Structure 1
Amino acid sequence: MRKTYKFEGECCANCAAKIEDKISKLDGVNSTKVNFMLQRFTLDAEDGAFENALTKSISIFKKIEPDVEVLVK
């Protein structure tokens, strides 16, 4: 399953790379892309692991960039 989310708040290229690296190492994640210019986050994970990967991804965002909010609808 692949989904793209917007996020709000300041995020630099260095932090986006750190976030991408940590998320890509999560179980069940096939790929991820954090675009700090467009403020978009794409997560591609196995169907059965997607919700858990999304929850952990949001935690990673908060840990690295506390002011960033991932907009999940």
Structure 2
Amino acid sequence: MKKIVKLEGLCCANCAAKIEEEVKKLNGVESASLSFMTQRLTMEVLEEKVDEIMEAARKTAYKIEPEAEFKVLR
């Protein structure tokens, strides 16, 4: 299942790379890509773990970039 999240307020490409790297490690994430330019995190996740993965991704993003706003687009 494809999920797209807007991460408004990313301060640098390094933070985006760290978030992407950590999200890729989450159980149930098949792929993840975070573009600093568009501030969009696109993930392919297992459908049965969507809620669990989204919460873990939110926590990961806030740990690395506490000022970013995490908005699920779809």
TM-score by length of 1: 0.90
Contact 2:10 2:16 survives alignment (8 Å): no
How many residues are treated as equivalent by the alignment? 73
- Matched residue SS, 1:70: strand
Partner residue in 2 for 1:5? 5
CA deviation vs aligned residue, 1:9-54 (integer Å, no higher than 9, x gap): 1331111111111111111100111111111111211011111111
Q: Which moved more, 1:9-18 or 1:23-32?
A: 9-18
- Matched residue SS, 1:52: helix
Partner residue in 2 for 1:30? 30
- Unpaired runs of 5+ residues, structure 1, are none
Contact 1:4 1:40 survives alignment (8 Å): yes
Partner residue in 2 for 1:66? 66
Contact 1:43 1:54 survives alignment (8 Å): no
Q: CA RMSD in A?
A: 1.2
TM-score by length of 2: 0.89
- Counting aligned pairs with the same residue, the percent is 42
How many Å separate the matches in 2 of 1:11 and 1:48? 32
- Unpaired runs of 5+ residues, structure 2, are none
Partner residue in 2 for 1:40? 40
Contact 1:32 1:42 survives alignment (8 Å): yes
